[in-house]
Amino acid sequence: MKIIHLTVNGKPTEVAIDERESLADTLRKRLGLTSVKKGCEVGECGACTVLVDGKSIDSCIYLTLWAESKSILTVEGITGPNGELSPVQQAFVEEAAVQCGFCTPGLIMTAVELVGTGKRYTREELRKLISGHLCRCTGYQNIINAVERVVNETHKAIGK
Ligand code: FES
Ligand code: FES
């Protein structure tokens, strides 16, 4: 076991890990952050996406060791102090972009990253930017609608 130090959703965190452990497993099993989903565990589906120092990564193929001194953001870290939904989450609700919800946390974190860039994107660009996420339920149209709306309307970083 090894002790590592990182910031998780704004909180300085110290956690004992197995050196071969993925960040997805650390977040889910040791820190209870179950918004992080494990679909494929080989970096193909995007369900495990979290932000590391503001950049989206597949946490199933990212060793927790690499996160030493870094800042991690998950869906649990983007809601308001009383559980209010963030603008990205609100857009997913309003555009009916969620069915079973398994892909949703990963997509939300990628959308948070895109909003944080402060740039505008075309629908086609957004399709490419979220193409690392697989959704078996929705047909993607409502997801693209939600991401397009929040990315192009919000234009500011989201998160605590
Ligand atoms: S579970 Fe990580 S990319 Fe599929
Ligand atoms: S909503 Fe079910 S996998 Fe996307």
Cβ count near 122 (within 10 Å): 10
| CB 96, CB 8: distance < 8 Å | no
Q: Over 80: is that where the pLDDT of 35 sits? A: yes
* Length of the chain counted residue by residue: 160
- Tell me if 38 CB under 6 Å of ligand 1: yes
Q: Over 70: is that where the pLDDT of 42 sits? A: yes
Measured CA to CA, the distance from residue 50 to residue 112 in angstroms comes to 10
% of the chain surpassing 90 pLDDT: 92
| CB 103, CB 46: distance < 8 Å | yes
Q: pLDDT per residue over 52-99, tens digit each?
A: 999 999 999 999 999 999 999 999 999 998 989 999 999 999 999 999
Q: Which domains does the chain have, with CATH numbers?
A: 2-77 (3.10.20.30), 87-154 (1.10.150.120)
Q: Tokens standing for 136?
A: 């078996």
Alpha-carbon torsion 123, 127, 79, 96, what sign?
positive
pLDDT given at position 153: 84
> If you measure from the C-alpha of residue 20 to the centroid of ligand 1, how many angstroms do you get, rounded to a whole number?
16
% of the chain surpassing 70 pLDDT: 96
Q: Which helix (H) or strand (E) holds 112?
A: helix 104-117
DSSP 86: P
Q: 23, 28, 35, 40: which to mutate for ligand 1, most atoms within 8 A of CB?
A: 40
CA atoms within 13 A on the CB side of 80: 9
Q: 45, 107, 110, 133: which to mutate for ligand 1, most atoms within 8 A of CB?
A: 45
pLDDT given at position 159: 44
> If you measure from the C-alpha of residue 9 to the centroid of ligand 2, how many angstroms do you get, rounded to a whole number?
24
Q: Which atom of ligand 1 is nearest to the CA of 48?
A: 2
Q: 100, 107, 141: which to mutate for ligand 2, most atoms within 8 A of CB?
A: 100
pLDDT given at position 155: 58
| CB 15, CB 1: distance < 8 Å | no
